[in-house]
Amino acid sequence: MFALQRIEETETIREPVWQDLALCNDGRGSMTELFFSEQLDDIAAAKAFCGGCPVREECLDVVRSLVGELASYVQAQADADVDQAPVIIESSGFSIRAASTRRKLGFVVKQGRVSGTAIVEVLAVAKRASYEHRWSADGGKTWNPAGVTLQTKMTIRGLPVGVSVLFTCRPCTKSGEGDWMEPYPFLVK
């Protein structure tokens, strides 16, 4: 005959980790398709969903770290087989870029004081220059003019909230317009 033994479960109380607080964590993984979709509607919905998450920054830190590790791995594989390097890199989803030879002035983008605004600040100033600014909400397919200023700082208003926007600018001097600087991605809040 079998003896029944009662096993008492002890509950352990643990502090929640940041993943427990994520809005997308329903315990079933039901949001996975939304976050890994290539459909533009799904991508927009995923970005909007993340926008109000209390642990968004922690999650982005993990994603950036993972993408960095993947990029390092892909580069190591490509370096190991130089003849197949373009195929290896493109099959990973990363793009191949030629190193730019043109000199670029630097600039940064910061969150404005009001929702839907951003402050663009040119870091390296050309003497007696004005600066032409523009932005794109569709990955650089179309550019919206944001104005020209003699100041190194410009506040750009009327930006779409919750969208990653590309910003760029170029110096304009009496000798002509300079090259557009490398686009800078920024999530508008």
Burial of 22 (0-12, 13-18, 19+ CB in 10 A): middle
pTM to 2 decimal places: 0.46
Do the domain assignments include residue 29?
A: no
Mean pLDDT by 10 residues, the chain (189 residues): 52 73 78 79 82 85 83 79 77 66 69 93 77 93 93 92 91 87 89
Residues 116 and 188: beta-carbon distance below 8 Å: yes
Pair of tokens at residue 63: 């994603």
Please check whether residue 40 lies inside any domain of the structure: no
CATH number of the domain enclosing 147: 2.60.40.10
Domain membership flag for residue 159:
yes
For residue 88, what is the enclosing H or E element? helix 85-91
Q: Residue 161 domain-assigned? A: yes
Q: Please give the pLDDT value at position 98.
A: 57
What is the Cα–Cα distance from 137 to 143, expressed in whole angstroms? 8
At residue 43, the pLDDT reads 82
Looking at residue 103, what is its pLDDT?
Answer: 47
Please report whether residue 135 resides in a domain: yes
The whole domain housing 144 covers 107-187
pLDDT for 63 equals: 83
> Considering the domain boundaries, does residue 12 fall inside one?
no
